Amino acid sequence: MLNVRGDFPILSRMVNGHPLVYLDSAATAHKPVAVVEAERDFYVRAYANVRRGVYLLAAEATELYEAARAKVARFVGARPEEIVFTRGTTEALNLVAWGLGETRVRPRDELLVTEMEHHANLLPWQELARRRGAQLLAARITSQGELDLGDFQSKLSSRTRVVSVVHVSNVLGTINPVQEIAQWAHEVGAVVVVDAAQSVPHMPVDVGELGADLLAFSGHKMLGPTGIGVLWGRAELLAEMPPWLTGGEMIREAWIDRAVWADPPARFEGGTPPIAQAVALGSAVDYLQGIGMDRVHSHGQGLTAQALEGLRARPYVTVYGPPDPSRRGALVAFNLQGIHPHDVATLLDQEGIAIRAGHHCTQPLHRRLGIPASCRASFYLYNTPEEVEQLLAALDRVKETLG
């Protein structure tokens, strides 16, 4: 059992007269004091803009910013020069779709995603397909909520330029077999992009082992601040991509009519970056590593197994996604028969329990499941088995009140 709740002051808050039970970490995670303090310390002690000043503060700020990059790199088994700081997963995926669109995608080429993508890993590819006259395909999911690997393979061809898949679905919880996917995609010469927004915060991820080419995640879902995210890319791929944001500090030389881009990662970090947020993300990485990602992962799986068992034992509940907790991330989406998810979430809130209700930015997936919306409880290292029990008991009361 992890014993970290004392590090998260917000968890002792009262909500509607009840202690907060926060079950929405898939949307965003709370911050330990160490991370808040790291951001504050940076502003109080070493703050300046990065990469431009010759004075001591600027040098210190640049050093801290680059040290954060190195920490993030180590965290996912990458090299610092392969780590681009972005505003989040959404921005990282847009950057990639833009860059690959310029270098790799021609009319009638194909892009392959899945039915379970978050809109952040769908809309950038839609836009690219529209811009370049390419075709966007989506591999189907099985009735168990896993990726239909046969369908996926049948949609791969010599026309496939990019395969972009979510590592862990933010609704189904499904962990996709990225290694296999990457191998198949590479056999047809496609570039492999991974949306790791729900995996990197919750389980050990090593980009070398995964075998993908580009991978995106967000700081705020892994105990870090908002406004900072990460794109990892193989050095040679980053080197071939043009920037999508042009301006200060991303060039080698500029004239009135043209410019020569700087090498990555600077090429993709035009303008003043989220400096303090990067430094604090480095502190979030320290915190997670201090606990150990294996322990974070097994804690999340334990809570998920408990929630799945409790939900399945209730005949009035429909659960989505794979039944085997070891094949899932730390979240469960479900519905109560005949009760709208928003009503469920509203009643739970009255008891201090925060869950998400809606389509979770996966409308095509919800359409595929034949539902307009769902409830989702998601767990992190600060949640407890008692909180899962509270959720289950509260659902019984919702059923009694509205069912």
Binding site for ligand 7TS (CB under 6 A): 26-27, 88-90, 118, 120-121, 166, 170, 195, 197-198, 218, 356, 360-361
Separation between Cα atoms, residue 90 and residue 217, nearest integer Å: 8
Sequence-ordered list of residues with C-beta below 8 angstroms from that of 109, at least 6 positions apart, any chain: 132, 134, 135, 159, 160, 161
In the complex with ligand 7TS, the residue whose CB is nearer, 101 or 229, is 229
Helix (H, G, I), strand (E, B) or coil at 380: coil
Cβ-contact 264, 319 below 8 angstroms:
no
Cβ-contact 361, 377 below 8 angstroms:
no
Paired with 358 in beta bridges are 374
Sequence-ordered list of residues with C-beta below 8 angstroms from that of 187, at least 6 positions apart, any chain: none
Set 361, 375, 395, 398: catalytic member? 361
In the complex with ligand 7TS, the residue whose CB is nearer, 46 or 331, is 331
C-alpha 220 chain-centroid distance: 9
Cβ-contact 245, 270 below 8 angstroms:
yes
Q: Where are the alpha helices (DSSP H) in 110-155?
A: 123-132, 149-154
Separation between Cα atoms, residue 68 and residue 119, nearest integer Å: 28
Cβ-contact 265, 273 below 8 angstroms:
no
Paired with 136 in beta bridges are 111
Residue 187 host element (H or E): helix 178-187
In the complex with ligand 7TS, the residue whose CB is nearer, 218 or 306, is 218
Active site (annotated) includes residue 375: no
Q: Which residue has the tokens 């700020």?
A: 61
Cβ-contact 109, 79 below 8 angstroms:
no
| Shortest Å, Cβ 28 to ligand 7TS | 7
Nearest to 61 by CA among 33, 53, 195: 53
Largest CA distance in the chain: 70
Helix (H, G, I), strand (E, B) or coil at 164: strand
Annotated catalytic residues are 361
